[in-house]
C-alpha cells in the first residue's frame, strides 16, 4: 500500500481559489486528489487544504467561492461613482493636508513613533 499526499502552495486569496478550482476540475475529470492520505499546504495552500479536508466535495466548495465573488466591473476604473476624477484621488487628498496634519494623524495612535514629530 502506498501513501499519497496532496501538497498545495501559497498565493493569497487568489491562490486559495485557484487551487480549489484546480482540485474541482481534476475531480470533474475523474481524478479525485482529495482521496490522498495527507492533504497539506503552505500559506494559502494550508487554508485550501483545510477547506478541502472538511468540504463535502471540491465542486461545492468552488461553487461557494464563486457565489461570494463580487460582480465584474463595467467601464473605466472609478466610473462606478458617477465620474472619473481628473487627478488621482490620493493626490487630491494629499494637496489638502499639510505634512503636519499627517504627522498629527499618524501620532494619534498611542505608542506610534512618527518621524515628523
pLDDT in tens, 74-108: 777 665 555 555 555 554 444 444 555 544 544 44
Judge residue 20's burial from the number of C-beta atoms within 10 Å of its C-beta, 0-12 exposed, 13-18 middle, 19 or more buried. Answer: buried
Alpha helices by DSSP H, listed for the chain, are 12-28, 44-54, 58-68, 89-96, 99-107
pTM of the predicted model as reported, rounded to 2 decimal places: 0.57
Query: What is the pLDDT at residue 91?
Result: 46
Q: What pLDDT is attached to residue 107?
A: 47
> Residues in the chain with pLDDT < 70?
1, 77-117
The CA dihedral of 58, 33, 10, 57, to the nearest 10 degrees, is: 10
Average pLDDT, the chain: 75
Amino acid at each position: 500500500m502506498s501513501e499519497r499526499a496532496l501538497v498545495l502552495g501559497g498565493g493569497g486569496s487568489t491562490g486559495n481559489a485557484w487551487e480549489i478550482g484546480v482540485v474541482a476540475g481534476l475531480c470533474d475529470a475523474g481524478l479525485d486528489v482529495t482521496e490522498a492520505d495527507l492533504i497539506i499546504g503552505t500559506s494559502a495552500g494550508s487554508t485550501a487544504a483545510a477547506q478541502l479536508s472538511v468540504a463535502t466535495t471540491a465542486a461545492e466548495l468552488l461553487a461557494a467561492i464563486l457565489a461570494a465573488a463580487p460582480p465584474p466591473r463595467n467601464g473605466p476604473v472609478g466610473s462606478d461613482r458617477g465620474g472619473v476624477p481628473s487627478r488621482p484621488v490620493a493626490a487630491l487628498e494629499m494637496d489638502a493636508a499639510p505634512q503636519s496634519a499627517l504627522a498629527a494623524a499618524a501620532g494619534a495612535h498611542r505608542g506610534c513613533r512618527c518621524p515628523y514629530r
